[in-house]
Amino acid sequence: MNILDKITKDKRIEVNLRKQLIPIKQLEQSVLFERETMSLAEKLRHSNTGIIAEHKRRSPSKQVINHNLNVFDVARGYEDAGVCGMSVLTDGKYFGGSLDDLITARSSCNLPLLRKEFIIDEYQILEAKAYGADVILLIAAILTTNEIKQFSELAKQLHLDVLLEVHNEEELHKSIMPSLDMLGVNNRNLKTFEVSLETSQQLSELIPNDFVKVSESGISSIEAIKRLQPYGYKGFLIGESFMKTDDPGKSAIQFIKDLQR
């Protein structure tokens, strides 16, 4: 069983518990359920940097990244840095995140927010909307083509952008459909945790131009971005390299400055 299977198994148990605690009706009555969402895909299309900055305390591959930062300050710092959007990890067991992190980020910044989560149930999409997200992540490796269709169409009804993540050609082929906005290529091999930008390079030509291309994992340098831009990538998800510092916002400011040079 690889790490993704393990996380997914635990996630099913967790979501079933949460459904019993908070009924859908209650989610739909949330104040944020009515707010107008922002499109991350549109922002990336018109940006020359394309940075999506992440809030992440820990991960299965890196263990602890940073437990000392306050989400409110991180979100504000990222907004001041001029990033295109912010990714907020809401998984507790493996990443140390929570839905409270999402709502805190929402209250402190006006960026498009991505709920970074292992979505296996429509309930989590309604949660994303109720807690202030603008974008959801769907991971092709853990979903069937039917689920991708069902989940992405629900997201569109709720005016949420959809970022679909793939790791290889097979996942890409089963996933391409009009209800997606962005296609993300994860450069990390989930079985070995090895990271290679070649994955993004190889898959780029198979992604139709209707979708905004996003590269994820292993993007920690200006060189990595410059290497991928010619392949049509408009979005770059950066988590660990900002979060490893004492002031992620300040690190993001410097990074974007260097990138624009």
Q: Residues with catalytic annotation?
A: 54, 56, 116, 165, 186, 216-217
Q: Tell me if residue 196 falls in helix, strand or coil.
A: coil
The answer to whether the CB of 243 falls within 8 A of the CB of 87 is no
Cβ neighbours of 83 (radius 10 Å)? 29
Residue 203 is encoded by which pair of tokens? 């898959």
What is the DSSP code (8-state) at residue 245? S
Q: Give the DSSP H or E segment for 32.
A: none
Instruction: Please say whether the beta carbons of 53 and 242 come within 8 A.
Output: yes
Other Cβ atoms less than 10 A from the Cβ of 192: the count is 9
- Cα–Cα distance for residue pair 150/41, rounded to 1 Å: 20
Of 136, 84, 90, the C-alpha closest to 114 is 136
Q: Where are the beta strands (DSSP E) in the chain?
A: 51-55, 58-59, 63-64, 85-89, 113-116, 135-139, 161-166, 182-186, 212-216, 233-238
The total of other beta-carbon atoms located within 10 Å of residue 173's CB is 12
